[in-house]
Amino acid sequence: MAKLKVYEYPHPVLKKKAEKVSVVDDELRAFMDDMLETMYDSNGCGLAAPQVGVSKRIVVIDIAREDEEPSPMYLVNPEIIWKSEETEICEEGCLSLPEMRAEVERPASVKIHYLDYDGRECELLAEDFLAVAAQHELDHLDGILYIDHLSRLKRQMLVKKLENSRKKRG
Ligand code: NI
């Protein structure tokens, strides 16, 4: 396994609509293993392929807490097939916008159709924090970042803060 480079805002790959995966094979599984390792290494709970510069519809998620067993999920070509009318507001962060967080409102639960690690067709009802993580990561596949859900003013403030923290990091 290998750790991959995480691309940060405003890299153009993050704004691109990702392409469907045609086949889940060993090469793709090796890439998903690398994505997972990269996510764990960065203490993230989700990562989408465009964030490592690969414009394909692949997401890895693990929302287990540190004191719990890891429970990785691999979503290939994921599609939201149902959204609840009820919404919830949750604070989100993103490895492509390091150190930043903001509250985002999204449907409280979603149903997702996807292919798993072995290429099998699956359906998942995501609720609570898994619903947040899944929607955040699926957005990445369409070139949408969580800051795109904020008002223009809030987005500008967050981007300014990100630029300042980068200057400090050097
Ligand atoms: Ni993200």
CATH number, domain at 44?
3.90.45.10
- Are the C-beta atoms of 4 and 35 separated by less than 8 Å? yes
Compute CA 75 distance to the chain's CA centroid, rounded to the nearest angstrom: 11
Q: What is the pLDDT of residues 123-153, one digit of tens each?
A: 999 999 999 999 999 999 999 999 999 999 9
Q: List residues with catalytic annotation.
A: 137
Q: What is the pLDDT of residues 61-94, one digit of tens each?
A: 999 988 999 999 999 999 999 999 999 999 999 9
Could you tell me if residue 123 is inside a domain?
yes
Q: Which domain holds residue 61?
A: 12-169
Beta-ladder partners of 19: 56
Could you tell me if residue 6 is inside a domain?
no
For the chain, the domain total comes to: 1
Phi, psi torsion values for 56, nearest 5 degrees:
-130, 155
Ligand 1 centroid vs 119 CA: distance in angstroms?
24
Could you tell me if residue 5 is inside a domain?
no
Could you tell me if residue 85 is inside a domain?
yes
Ligand 1 centroid vs 14 CA: distance in angstroms?
9
Q: pTM of this prediction? A: 0.97
Could you tell me if residue 77 is inside a domain?
yes
DSSP 8-state assignment for residue 51 = G
Could you tell me if residue 4 is inside a domain?
no
Provide the sign of the torsion angle of the four alpha carbons 98, 54, 11, 151, taken in this order. Answer: negative
Ligand 1 centroid vs 93 CA: distance in angstroms?
7
Could you tell me if residue 2 is inside a domain?
no
